[in-house]
Amino acid sequence: MWSYKMWSQKSRQASLRLLPSLFLILSTTGLEYVEAGDHPLICPQPRFTGKAPPNIYNLKNPLENTPKNLKKGKLLFQVKAKPMPCKNCHGMMGEGNGPMASGFNPPPRNFTCAKTINGVTDGQLFWITKNGSPGTGMLSYKGLKDEKIWQIVLFIRELAK
């Protein structure tokens, strides 16, 4: 006769056998997060992002580059922006290698790459931050007031080397 004890031992053995295949499924679907800095920084980065409408594209940042505005932009980028801070994908200093970065194709923009980012206008950075980049991991930040987005744009402009 089968006892409960025998049955539970059998099923435990069966689940142990399943563990390696479960791990394989998780790692091939890329569901696991890779630590920040785990993949190489790409520079120059291929860029296929949609263009802002002309009246926005040509805008210059209306805010002055003061220490106060920069500090606020940095704080939003690294900590405060909702639904989540930019650094989750773009990295603390915009290197494009945040803890969630490896989940996205195309990858998050590397703001430290002058070759890629210097040709991108203030208005374009503003537009994509506000509206996201459809079909990619870049979310929209419609909940952020324009002034806050411009503060973030000031900060991003400081990152390219």
The tokens 């940095």 sit on which residue? 74
> Is 152 among the residues that bind ligand HEC (CB under 6 A)?
yes
Q: Measure the CA–CA gap between 91 and 73, rounded to whole angstroms.
A: 14
- The stretch among 10-18, 27-35, 61-69, 99-107 that binds ligand HEC (CB under 6 A) is 99-107
| Residues 48-87 interacting with ligand HEC (rule: CB under 6 A) | 49, 81, 84, 86
159 near ligand HEC (CB under 6 A) = no
Two structure tokens written together for 31: 């569901």
* Type of residue numbered 129: T
Q: How far apart are CA 154 and CA 66, in angstroms?
A: 9
Give the shortest CB-161-to-ligand HEC separation in angstroms. 17
Residue (of 141, 155, 127) closest to 69 by Cα position: 155
Q: Is residue 18 a contact residue for ligand HEC (CB under 6 A)?
A: no
- Pick from 74, 91, 97, 138 the residue near ligand HEC by CB under 6 A: 138
> In the set 34, 41, 75, 139, which binds ligand HEC (CB under 6 A)?
139
Distance from C-alpha of 132 to C-alpha of 119, rounded to nearest angstrom = 19
b/e map 59-87, b = 16+ CB within 10 Å: bebebeeeeebbebbbbbbbeebeeebbb
Residue nearer to ligand HEC on the CB measure, 37 or 106 = 106
For the CB of residue 53, give the shortest distance to ligand HEC in the complex, in Å: 13
Place of tokens 């991108």: 120
Q: Which of 89, 113, 154, 159 binds ligand HEC (CB under 6 A)?
A: 89
- Residues at the site binding ligand HEC, with contacts judged by CB under 6 A: 47, 49, 81, 84, 86, 88-90, 100, 104, 106, 108-109, 120, 124-125, 128-129, 133, 136-139, 141, 152
